[in-house]
Chain A
Amino acid sequence: MISFNLLVLVALGYVAFLFLVAFGAERRAKAGRSSWLRSSTIYTLSLSIYCTAWTFYGAVGYAARSGLEFLTIYLGPTIVLIGWWWFLRKLVRIGRSQRLTSIADLISSRFGKSTALGVMVTILAIIGTTPYIALQLQSVTQSIAVFAAHSGESWQDDNLAGAAMWVAFGLAVFTLLFGTRNLDASERHHGIVLAIAVEAVVKLFALVAVGVFVVWGVAGGVGPTLDLIDASVQSQWAPVPSRWIGLIFVSGAAFLCLPRMFQVLVVENADERHLSTAGWAFPAYLLVMSLFVMPIAVVGLDLMPTGANPDLFVVTIPLQEGREGLAILAFLGGFSSATSMVIVATLAIATMVSNHIVVPSWLNARTPGAVVSGDVRDVVVLSRRLSVGVVLALGYIYFRLSGGGSALAAIGLVSFTGVIQVLPAMVGGVIWRGANRWGAGAGLIVGFVVWAWTQFLPSFGVDAALPQAVFDVGPFGIGWLRPQALFGIEGIDPFVHAVFWSLGLNAGAFMIVSIVTFPNPLERLQGAQFVKIFDYSTGARVWTQSTAQAEDMLVMAQRIIGGARAQSLFQAEARSQGKAGFLPDVTPEFIDRLERELSGSVGAATAHAMIGQLTEGTMVSVDDLIAVADETAQIMEYSNRLEAKSAEQDRTARALREANEKLTALSIQKDAFLSQISHELRTPMSSIRSFSEIIREGDLEESNRTRFAGIIHEESNRLTRLLDDLLDLGVLESGQVQLTQKNGDLGDLIERALVVAGVEGSDLKVFRKPTKETVPICTDLERLTQVFINLISNVLKYAVAENPELRIIVRSQTGQTFVDFCDNGPGIPKESQSMIFEKFSRLEDARMAGGAGLGLAICKQIMAALGGDVAYLPGQGGAAFRVTLPSNG
């Protein structure tokens, strides 16, 4: 038999321990040794405030009444955390980059830093959370009462109320001490976070200890426990589909929307990467938390007298079995669950109340411009402290008024459904750019009203808030407004009915109103930043150039975030602008940064309003937005043009380089040609001169004289040919050539060319297909023959193979006739192929002294004049030229 006083002593000792833990954590953090305080383990454990006393005690009661349905409350959050990559990561990133202080701040900030929306979410959160705080107070006092009864004392309502008041008072002191210490609400509260992490371990350990005791100590092992379950009143598992799905959905949504969950998930998050640990570790925590719930419930049903409150089985079973140490541990577990929830919830609500209701009202009550001189810092801290007190007092009052009856136990799900009315605005705001504040406001109001009508008011019981007649025939006899049969659809489970209609109409109003209304520029900016949070790390500009003085800003910042921090912020900014001192230039970027910094303390809406007063409304307008977009588009177009230009320049440069190479090569060849042609001219000239001198001196034999005269004649012919070629080329190039069109046959032309080129006397073998050569042509036959002659003489000159061959192939294709001259010589190297048709070009070959390098150039010019072409044909095993005959037009 433990004395009741021992329990009180243990509880007080535990509280003192928690204070020490929190105090130690704050000191370590201040000393800069806070790295382990920021670990993912602490983060995961802090999420456990999801498991309140409602969970610790209530889950067993739930299981005893409704079987496995209690699991849905944990399966919902499990899904959300398993899918952390999809949504939680985005939420946490937004929370960090926007320095959000609460869920009301998220909604307000997303929808154009709207004060009205912040107020609405805050009120909704207060209404949803106050009964929940009352529930925690109730569970603590009830468990104390169990011990009191056990030790022979009988507790009256007065004793319960007194205990509840002391608990509430203690929690208020704790929250004030560690929750309102630093003004920056977006900073971590190390003391609180560590304390709730410790409490998380305690409650898990306590529940597992009771579970292990029940399964192995009482029931006698796993097998017997399962048998016991199948023998109990809950032996049949018959989930109601709509409730099963609805409860999983609501608990998952509540995990995101509960103010206290948002506080630990987003605001107290130190590192995004912790999510990947919490993603599996917290579901594992929930699994262990709920593993023994069903066994405790059935063992309790089996063991305890009928009529015993199943909500307290966790404490009463060990007491019944005489395990008082275990009972005290269980009590501490329940106490931990209750207190950690209350502390964080109170802190979250207090931040919301102070940032979204008190400070904006205080600012409004002052004349514009007076902000600078007012002491905002004190107001914020004071309002937050008062809010903590007020929220806890509200919880206590609710607890007293409700009488702590069973009505309170049902409030858990009611509260969940109320709070998740924020879900459409939150999810919509984060994934849909088109969502705007009118839509969010409409959705919240509709959702809140429908929830209040279908679930909150009926939750007080028939004839309490709503008379029986309203349930039966509707308000004022309007049947389709009956709170549990909206639009006349009856027979739905009341919980599912409320969730479906409140959230459905909420989401519908949110979307429809968003679609038909127009957002203001700030909303559009914020919308883009929230939805594309992974694309932008810093925000777009909200402010345009203003006339605000840096000094005024510094004064204001000091009033809000304190002298030292404001000064270092301004100094750093000035330094980054390359200025000394504390007063940077007031650029739009700087105003943005300052606003963000301030919003970490007083919320986005208030910070925005305060900056707005100083800068006198030089906020960005729709025109500015469009101008910025235009500017971006222009820059993009400009850079695209630059890109195109530089590509074009590249091409030009390449062409120029090629031309230059060609010119250089030509110039070299021209020099070579000049010396060649001088040589060519000189050689016949000198033989003509010397032989004519010999002849002039006389007394020569007749035979010699004839021979010498023949040489002179031959040499002058050579000279003439050379000069003819040069003249010919000149004429062809200048385009003054006279053409004489005649009809003829291609075969005849080739035949004549072969004869003239002197193939018959040489060892060149010619392959032809005379049948193919009978092509009638009409052109300047003389000139064309000249081309053939030149090509064939080239073969004669350059084909150095042992058995030189020439193939002449005539081919007709698509109205055009080609004549290919292919030899079996070495061909023309690739690098020379582009040069051979140029004037003066000759291959570096010792054997070609006979020509002046004009032959192919002349061919090219003739063919161009005739309207055909001649080109080198690579890849034929030797040198090959293709003559394209002018089409017979």
Chain B
Amino acid sequence: MASEADEQLGEQEQSVKNTDFLGAGPRIEFLDKSAYRQRRIRDAASFLPVLAVILMIFPLMWPRGVGEKSLTSYGMIYLFGLWFVLVGLTFLLSRVLRFPDVSADSEVNAEGTSE
């Protein structure tokens, strides 16, 4: 327990050093290809719930009372279809999304995790 905490302290100091010598901060402007891809996958993971909200609210704009779009069966097919696609997309993202190191998730380490 204690040693684990010590390690974490050590890491913290390390990262403080890294940032200090850069002065302005630890941001790395340009990443290599795989780290760049990871960033974009994270963007996709952040964007997905927004997409989900938009598409779930979308049926509110459909015409009511006329045509098959206003039928419950049509709504069911749309909503479950959407749901299924969202689950599929999240599944795909969870396959390719690499979890950052639990103890280090700063921008400095972002490049370090690339292979």
- Residues in A lying within 8 Å of B, measured CB to CB: 67-68, 71, 75, 78-83, 85-86, 226-227, 229-230, 232, 234-239, 241, 244-245, 248, 272-273, 276-277, 279-280, 283-284, 287, 291, 294, 534-538, 568-569, 572-573, 575-576, 589, 593, 597, 635-636, 639-640, 643
Are A537 and B11 in contact (CB-based, < 8 A)? yes
Are A279 and B94 in contact (CB-based, < 8 A)? yes
Contacts of B71 in A (CB 8 A): 230, 235-237
Residue in contact with A276 in the complex, picked from B6, B57, B97, B105, CB distance below 8 Å: B97
Residue in contact with A534 in the complex, picked from B3, B88, B99, B106, CB distance below 8 Å: B106
B window 5-55: CB within 8 A of A = 5-6, 8-9, 11-12, 17, 20-21, 23, 42, 45-46, 48-49, 52-53
Given A230-B73, A238-B70, do A272 and B99 touch, yes or no (CB 8 Å)?
yes
Are A78 and B52 in contact (CB-based, < 8 A)? yes
- CA–CA, A261 to B65, complex, Å? 39
Residue in A80, A237, A276 whose Cβ sees the most chain B Cβ within 10 Å: A237
Are A248 and B56 in contact (CB-based, < 8 A)? yes
Are B72 and A294 in contact (CB-based, < 8 A)? yes
Q: Which secondary structure dominates where chain A touches chain B?
A: helix
Contacts of A277 in B (CB 8 A): 94
Given A83-B49, A86-B49, A279-B90, do A239 and B76 touch, yes or no (CB 8 Å)?
no
State the Cβ distance, B34 to closest chain A Cβ, in Å: 18
Contacts of B8 in A (CB 8 A): 537-538
Are A236 and B65 in contact (CB-based, < 8 A)? yes
Are A237 and B70 in contact (CB-based, < 8 A)? yes
Q: Nearest residue in B to A93 (C-beta to C-beta)? A: B102
- CA–CA, A104 to B95, complex, Å? 34
- CA–CA, A229 to B71, complex, Å? 9
- CA–CA, A80 to B76, complex, Å? 21
Given A75-B56, A639-B21, do A67 and B6 touch, yes or no (CB 8 Å)?
no
How many B residues face the partner with a CB closer than 8 A?
A: 51
Given A537-B11, A635-B20, do A82 and B65 touch, yes or no (CB 8 Å)?
no
Contacts of A572 in B (CB 8 A): 1-3
- CA–CA, A86 to B65, complex, Å? 38
- CA–CA, A308 to B24, complex, Å? 70
Residue in contact with A79 in the complex, picked from B2, B11, B52, B76, CB distance below 8 Å: B52
- CA–CA, A237 to B68, complex, Å? 10
Residue in contact with A639 in the complex, picked from B20, B75, B86, CB distance below 8 Å: B20
State the Cβ distance, A39 to closest chain B Cβ, in Å: 15
Contacts of B11 in A (CB 8 A): 537
Are B56 and A79 in contact (CB-based, < 8 A)? yes
State the Cβ distance, A224 to closest chain B Cβ, in Å: 11
Are A276 and B99 in contact (CB-based, < 8 A)? yes
B window 86-115: CB within 8 A of A = 86-88, 90-91, 93-94, 97, 99, 102-106
State the Cβ distance, A234 to closest chain B Cβ, in Å: 5
Are B87 and A237 in contact (CB-based, < 8 A)? no
Are A68 and B87 in contact (CB-based, < 8 A)? no
- CA–CA, A80 to B52, complex, Å? 10
**Can you list 29 contacts pairing A with B, beta carbon distance less than 8 Å?**
A71-B79, A75-B56, A78-B86, A79-B56, A81-B90, A83-B46, A83-B48, A85-B45, A230-B72, A230-B73, A234-B72, A236-B65, A236-B71, A237-B59, A237-B72, A238-B70, A241-B60, A245-B60, A276-B97, A279-B90, A294-B72, A537-B104, A538-B5, A575-B2, A593-B5, A597-B1, A639-B17, A639-B21, A640-B20
Residue in contact with B57 in the complex, picked from A67, A237, A245, CB distance below 8 Å: A245
Residue in contact with B94 in the complex, picked from A248, A280, A536, CB distance below 8 Å: A280
- By Cβ-Cβ distance, the 4 closest A-B pairs, closest first, are A83-B49, A280-B90, A572-B2, A237-B75
State the Cβ distance, A142 to closest chain B Cβ, in Å: 27
- CA–CA, A643 to B46, complex, Å? 39
- Since A227-B73, A280-B88, A593-B5 are in contact, a sample of 20 more A-B pairs with Cβ atoms closer than 8 Å, ordered by chain A residue number, is A68-B79, A82-B48, A82-B90, A229-B73, A229-B76, A232-B72, A237-B72, A238-B65, A239-B60, A272-B99, A272-B102, A273-B99, A276-B97, A291-B80, A537-B12, A572-B1, A572-B3, A576-B3, A593-B2, A640-B20
Are B3 and A287 in contact (CB-based, < 8 A)? no
State the Cβ distance, A807 to closest chain B Cβ, in Å: 49
